[in-house]
Structure 1
C-alpha cells in the first residue's frame, strides 16, 4: 500500500475516499489523539481530506484542518499544534490524475517502515476501534499555519536580503516561499502562482525541461535567481541569474559545503555525484549514503553528526529545523547564500560537475536480474554496497545498478572525474547487466 513517499496513485483506482477513511481509522488506532490534515491543490484532495477526517473523528481523534497547505507546512504544524501526527493529502510531483496520503511525526519525519506497516495491517484487517456516540473527535480549522511557516523561515535566515527572485510556484501550494522572501526584503516576482491541481502551466515536477519558461524569464530580467517548486512544495530546484538550470548534484554540494564543518556528516542517496565526496573531504567532512528516497535520507538525518541531507530531485533537509524536506526553507537559504557570497552562476561553477552516464534496461524480471547481478558484483568487489541495488566505489569513480521502484526497469549509472574513465566504468556496469539477463 505504501511506497517510499507514502500512498500515491490514480484517483478512483488506488486512491479513493474509502481508502482515506480507512487510513484515518487506522491512524486513530495507533493512539493519535490529535492529527493535523492539509492538502495540495488537487480537487480530489477535498473529499479525501474529508474522508480522512471522518475516519479519525469516528474513532475518537481530534482533527485540525489546514485546508490548502504545502507539505512542509503540514509536517511542521504537527509540533506547532501539539498534535501526535499529520497527514498531507498530496501526490507531490505526480501528474494531476494522481493523489496520495503521506503521514508525519511531530519531528517532521515521515512515518517510518514500522509505522507504515502498522497502518497497512490495520487497513487490511479492518481492525478499527470506533468511539461511542459521546466520544467522537472534534474538527477545528487553523488558518495561521502558513503565517507561522513564513515567520519560521524568516527566523532561519535572520538577515535581510537584497535580491530579485523569481518564484515559479507551478500552480502548487508553495506561496509560502514568495511571502517569506518578500518578508526578508527581496523583490519577488511569481510565475504560475494560482493554485490549480490540474497543473496547467507546466508539469508539477521541477525538472530542467519543465522549467524552461522560468529559465527564459530569469535570463531576460535582472533577477538574481529563480526558484521552482513541485505541487506540494517539498521540492525546490533553482535557476542561476543567467537562466541556467542547476542540477540537483550542484545544489546538494552548495548546501552541504555551506553547512558542513570538520567531522560533520551529510546524508544522501547512493546515486549522488562524487563531487559531493570531494568537496566535503576538503572540509574534513564525510558522506553517508542511503537508499534512494527522501524518507531514507530523513531517517539517516536523525543520527548523530548528520547536519544536512538531500536528494538530487530537490528534497533538502536541515535536521536542526525539521526532518521534512522543506522547499521553502531551501529557497530562502539559497537566496541567503547568493546574497552573502555572490552570483549563483559563479558559486555553481566553483563546485563544478563530473561526467555521469545513465541508462535504463527494460526487464520483466528485475528482482531476479538484481539478485543474480548482485551476487556477481559482490563476488568481484568484496566492498560493494548493497543498501539499494549494488554500488561499487572504484579509485577512479563508481557505478550503481538498482531496480526501479515503480517501473519494469533496472537503472544503471556510472561517474568518474573525466569522460573517458566515466565511459569505461559505465561499460563495466552495463556488461554485468548484459551477462545476467535471461
Structure 2
C-alpha cells in the first residue's frame, strides 16, 4: 500500500476519503500531535479533511498548514515539535491522481518499517478512538513564512541575478518570494496555484518545461527554475536555455556541498558522470535504492553531506532530510551568481545512457530469474535495488517498476558503441529470464 513515495494513485479508485480516514486512524493509534498540509489539487481538500477527522477522532491534535509545499510540511513536523507529518499530494503525477506521504520529525519520509506498520494497521482496520469528549484539537498555522525565513538564513546570493521561476501551478511559490528577498530579479511562470495544472504537466522534465527554457534563452535571465506540484522537486535551465539533466545537477550540487574525504548519497540508477565528477574532487559516492526516503536514510549517516536523485529531489541533511525544492532553487541560484550554470555544466563529462523495458505481469518471477542468471555470469553485482552489474567500463541495471507491469533496463558506458553493447547484452538477459 505504502510505496517509497507513500500512497499514490487515481482519486476515487485507489485514493479515497475512506482510505484517508483510515490513515488518520492508523496514525492516531501512536501519535499525539500531527502536522497536515496539501498541494493545490482540488481533491486534496476532501482528503485532508478525512485524514484530519481520523486523527482527531483518535484524540490526536492536528496542526493544519492548508496548501503548503511538501518540504514545508516535512520541516514543520520539527518546527511544531510534532510526532509526524502528513502531506496530501501526488507530487509530479497528473491532476487526476492524489496521494498521502508521511514524515518523521527529522524531515525524513516514513521508512520501510514505519510504512509496513501503517499498512498493517490500515488493512486490519485498527483504531484507538477517543471518548466523545476527548477528540484532538485542530489549529491552523501558516509555516510558509517559517520556511521562507529558513531559506533566507541558509543562502546568500552575491551580485545581480535574473531568474525565471516556473512554479508549475503548484505549491512552490515560496521560491519566487525568497529569491526576490535575496536580491534577484524574478519573473514567474504558472504562478497561480491550480491543481489541474493548466500551464504544463506537473513533472518538471525538459519536454514539459520547454516554455521556461525558451523564455530564459530569449531574455537576459541568468537561469530558469522549475518545480513540480508540491515543490519537493527542482530542475534548472542555463541562461542559454539548456535544460540541465538531473545527473548533471546532481554532480554540481554534490561537488558544491562536499569536500575531499566526504561522501554524497545517490541512487543506483545514477550516471557514471556523477561518480567521475565527484571523484575528481576526492568525494566518495554512496549508492542507495531508488527513492528519496533511501537517499535520506543514507544522508543521515556520518560523513555524507548531501544526497540527491536525478529526478530532481535534493537533500542537505544539515537543513532537513526532506527533499526541499525551494532550498535547491536558492542554492543553484547562488551557484549561478558565482559562475554561470553553463560553465559549471560544461565541466561535467556526460556519457551515453540506454533505457528500455519489457512488459510483464510476472515481475517478481522475472527478477528472480534475472538474479540467478546474473550471479552465474558476472562478478561485480549489487542487489541493493534490482540487479546492478558493474562491468568496469560501464554498467547495467535491471529493476522492476514499482508502479507499472514493467521490468526496466538502464545501461551506461563511456562510449556510444560500448553503451549499445551493454544494453543489448542486458536486454538479451532480460528476455531470456522473462521467457522462463
TM-score normalised over the length of structure 2: 0.98
CA contact (8 A) 1:261 1:284 kept: yes
Match of 2:25 in 1: 25
Q: How does 1:278-427 map to 2 (within 5 A)?
A: 278-340=276-338, 342-427=339-424
CA contact (8 A) 1:161 1:336 kept: no
Q: CA deviation at 1:136?
A: 1.2
Q: CA deviation at 1:161?
A: 4.8
Q: How does 1:39-438 map to 2 (within 5 A)?
A: 39-143=38-142, 145-340=143-338, 342-438=339-435
Deviations 1:366-414 (A, max 9, x none): 2211111111111122330011111111221111111111111111111
CA contact (8 A) 2:296 2:315 kept: yes
Q: CA deviation at 1:158?
A: 3.1
Q: CA deviation at 1:300?
A: 1.3
Q: Distance in 1 between matches of 2:241 and 2:46?
A: 40
Any gaps of 5 or more consecutive residues in structure 2?
A: none
> Secondary structure in 1 aligned to 2:382?
coil
Any gaps of 5 or more consecutive residues in structure 1?
A: none
Taking structure 1 as reference, are residues 168 and 370 closer, same or farther at Cα in structure 2, changes over 3 Å only?
same
Q: CA deviation at 1:432?
A: 1.0
> Secondary structure in 2 aligned to 1:351?
coil
Deviations 1:273-329 (A, max 9, x none): 001111121222211111111111111111111111111110001111100000000
> Secondary structure in 2 aligned to 1:36?
strand
> Secondary structure in 1 aligned to 2:175?
helix
CA contact (8 A) 1:354 1:415 kept: yes
Q: CA deviation at 1:160?
A: 4.4
Taking structure 1 as reference, are residues 272 and 153 closer, same or farther at Cα in structure 2, changes over 3 Å only?
same
* Structure 1 position 6 matched with structure 2 position 6: yes
Q: CA deviation at 1:251?
A: 0.2
Taking structure 1 as reference, are residues 126 and 364 closer, same or farther at Cα in structure 2, changes over 3 Å only?
closer
Q: How many residues align?
A: 435
CA contact (8 A) 2:401 2:408 kept: yes
Q: Distance in 2 between matches of 1:161 and 1:88?
A: 36
Q: CA deviation at 1:335?
A: 0.4
Aligned-residue CA RMSD (Å): 1.1
Higher mean displacement: 365-374 or 106-115: 365-374
Q: Distance in 1 between matches of 2:12 and 2:362?
A: 29
CA contact (8 A) 1:161 1:184 kept: no
Taking structure 1 as reference, are residues 125 and 435 closer, same or farther at Cα in structure 2, changes over 3 Å only?
closer
CA contact (8 A) 2:156 2:334 kept: no
Deviations 1:33-78 (A, max 9, x none): 1111100000111111111111111111111101010000011011
CA contact (8 A) 2:7 2:99 kept: yes
CA contact (8 A) 2:71 2:322 kept: yes
